[in-house]
A and B are shown apart, each in its own frame.
Chain A
Amino acid sequence: MADVIKKATRESYGEALAELGDKYENLYVLDADLAAATKTGIFKKKFPERFFDCGIAEANMMGVAAGLATTGKIPFASTFAMFAAGRAFEIVRNSIGYPHLNVKIGATHAGISVGEDGATHQCNEDIALMRTIPGMTIINPADDVEAKAAVEAAILHDGPVYMRFGRLATPVFNDRETYKFELGKGVKIRDGKDITIIATGLMVNEAIEAAKTLESEGIDARVINIHTIKPIDKDIIIEAAKETGSVVTVEEHSVIGGLGSAVCDVLAESYPVKVTKIGVNDVFGHSGPAVDLLKEFGLCADNIVDTVKKTLEK
């Protein structure tokens, strides 16, 4: 596995904006003094006249994006997930969500894998917050290929979109040549009949690795990638519950209100089965190297393997 290419999805975000800037002349990028970190600086370098730094003022940035959108422009408002979904929540709700404006929110540095900066910057609540806003589309891409495709899908979708990107470089497992992004559609990455692992974002690759280990131990696990958390692909989830009996969800987010909750909402209503949620268990993170933190919080293939086995034992 030495030749696995790794890339942070924030990098994919910045590159995609720069690549798509020629094709979509209506695309504008806003940032809040984090262009070097969110990677919108890549766009800024190529299209300086279409990039506007709003300074450290995320609330105003979201409002400015809303105003731009009322005039037909497509603004990408970029900052860390903590500030996009957290600090600016009410502006996103009232100035973007309620008027259903065509604003795209590029939220980077999501989850515990922010690493050394610690709990203040590790946003494990953004999916939960954004899910409650009517009409908000939420995309949490799993790797570089998917992240780039998601940015174009967001442009083509008319309405507010929240996109979640990571700071940590993670394996690129999708095939750039054949990959097709379908908004709102889950992806069955691996078929299986014993149990289903439903993962999102950086956890999809961990789920794939876990399934390989489980296979060697005689457990046939299905793996589903939910890149669009809202609207969620109910069919693929219900089908998995029917065909495999139990479900494990994995996300780099609080177990409250994220993918696991969304999956439970679908299954509780339509086809109740046992669901075990892997995520951040209602605690704050802390400082440390990202990879070590992911292991510590159980956001890794080993813990998925253990959890699947325990779920099947019950």
Chain B
Amino acid sequence: MDASIKKQLEITACKIRMGIIEGVFNAKSGHPGGSLSIADTLTYLYFSKMAVYPENPDFEDRDRLVLSKGHCAPALYSTLAERGFFSKDELKSLRHIGALLQGHPCIHIPGVDMSSGSLGQGISAACGMALSGKISNKPYKVYTILGDGEIEEGQVWEAAMFATQYKLDNLVAIVDNNGLQIDGKIEDVCSPYPITDKFEAFGWHVIEMNAHDFDDIERAFNEAETILNQPVVIVQKSIKGKGVSYMENNVSWHGAAPNAEQYEIAMKELNETLKGLEG
């Protein structure tokens, strides 16, 4: 990847992380850990990969993204705001009464392609969108992001069979493998490992990716585009809470908001990161 493009993506990702903290802090609830782990992937998709149209969000031939791990809505909202689908001010009223931004993604929000949040369901809707594209010979791609804990849901594997059956090569699933779910390490709760072998056995093309390296992210998504006649899953190795030191790899930040002091520390760290990138 061109160095200047890479730096620009890193700057954008940092701003998106600030938006995540802003949203969760103002909501006094929400899920920062898993939001921060997918921030770079969302940045790449919305700023470098997907054909999306903030001025015409429902454009028929747009690429689509279903956030199957819907609790990480702060990451999607912050990305959509950064991309211009709605004002960044909306992040300050996330989860408030009367606010545009609901606790989990809602299809009526500009740029949100599907309501989601009940785990395991988004991937099925993504399959439906991809199937529709195949039926009608549409050029669009469908991306869906799942949690590594989420794939414990049986519906994910129903969808995995379906996507292979109908050769949905316009579908790319991303499994965010940050290794932690609410009750602890995924291997201690009810292990979904080995993730790559499982998807391979279900007939998917599997790509592994470092979720916090834009060169590797680009390599993975470019490879995904070359695969024909089968769906692709990118298993991304990520760090839960990435970018905020005290949140990294700490499961207690799965679903908790920072207090005022913690908010200041997080924003200071991210501001320093931003300064370092821009300087």
**Is there a chain A Cβ closer than 8 Å to B45's Cβ?**
no
**Is there a chain A Cβ closer than 8 Å to B263's Cβ?**
no
**Is there a chain B Cβ closer than 8 Å to A73's Cβ?**
yes
Contacts of A94 in B (CB 8 A): 115, 117-118, 121
Chief secondary structure at chain A's binding surface: helix
**Is there a chain A Cβ closer than 8 Å to B72's Cβ?**
no
**Is there a chain B Cβ closer than 8 Å to A63's Cβ?**
yes
**Is there a chain B Cβ closer than 8 Å to A245's Cβ?**
no
Residue in contact with B114 in the complex, picked from A28, A60, A99, CB distance below 8 Å: A99
Would you call A60 and B162 a contact (CB within 8 A)?
Answer: yes
Contacts of B128 in A (CB 8 A): 63-71, 75
In the docked arrangement, what's the CA distance between A73 and B113, Å?
15
**Is there a chain B Cβ closer than 8 Å to A36's Cβ?**
no
Would you call B115 and A67 a contact (CB within 8 A)?
Answer: no
**Is there a chain A Cβ closer than 8 Å to B196's Cβ?**
no
Contacts of A71 in B (CB 8 A): 60, 128-129, 132-133, 136
Contacts of A55 in B (CB 8 A): 158, 161-162, 165
Interface residues on A, range: 20 to 34
Q: Within B126-174, which residues are at the interface with A (CB < 8 Å)?
A: 126-133, 135-136, 154-155, 158-159, 161-162, 165-166
Contacts of B129 in A (CB 8 A): 67-68, 70-71
Would you call B124 and A64 a contact (CB within 8 A)?
Answer: yes
Would you call B162 and A99 a contact (CB within 8 A)?
Answer: no
What is the CB-to-nearest-CB distance from B110 to chain A, in angstroms, rounded to a whole number? 14
Would you call B115 and A60 a contact (CB within 8 A)?
Answer: no
Would you call B121 and A57 a contact (CB within 8 A)?
Answer: no
**Is there a chain B Cβ closer than 8 Å to A95's Cβ?**
yes
**Is there a chain A Cβ closer than 8 Å to B265's Cβ?**
no
Given contacts A68-B132, A94-B121, contact A63 B106 (CB under 8 A): no
In the docked arrangement, what's the CA distance between A71 and B128, Å?
9
Would you call B125 and A64 a contact (CB within 8 A)?
Answer: yes
In the docked arrangement, what's the CA distance between A98 and B136, Å?
26
**Is there a chain B Cβ closer than 8 Å to A52's Cβ?**
yes
**Is there a chain A Cβ closer than 8 Å to B51's Cβ?**
no
In the docked arrangement, what's the CA distance between A208 and B269, Å?
76
Would you call B158 and A95 a contact (CB within 8 A)?
Answer: no
Q: Which of A52, A66, A69 has the most CB of B within 10 A?
A: A66
In the docked arrangement, what's the CA distance between A57 and B133, Å?
22
Contacts of A50 in B (CB 8 A): 135
Contacts of B121 in A (CB 8 A): 59, 63, 91, 94-95
Q: Within B163-212, which residues are at the interface with A (CB < 8 Å)?
A: 165-166
Contacts of A243 in B (CB 8 A): none
**Is there a chain A Cβ closer than 8 Å to B107's Cβ?**
yes
Would you call B107 and A99 a contact (CB within 8 A)?
Answer: yes
A-B contact pairs, 23 of them (CB 8 A): A52-B131, A55-B162, A55-B165, A57-B155, A59-B120, A59-B154, A63-B121, A63-B128, A63-B155, A64-B159, A66-B125, A66-B128, A67-B125, A67-B132, A68-B128, A68-B132, A69-B128, A70-B132, A71-B132, A71-B133, A98-B115, A99-B108, A99-B115
List B residues at the A interface (Cβ < 8 Å): 60, 66, 106-108, 113-115, 117-118, 120-133, 135-136, 154-155, 158-159, 161-162, 165-166
Q: A66-B124, A68-B128, A99-B114 are in contact. List 10 more A-B contacts (CB 8 A).
A: A28-B135, A55-B162, A59-B154, A60-B158, A66-B125, A67-B66, A70-B132, A91-B118, A91-B124, A98-B106
List A residues at the B interface (Cβ < 8 Å): 28, 49-50, 52, 54-55, 57, 59-73, 75, 90-91, 94-95, 98-99
Listed from nearest, the 9 A-B pairs whose CB atoms lie closest are A67-B128, A63-B124, A60-B158, A57-B158, A67-B125, A71-B132, A64-B128, A99-B115, A99-B107
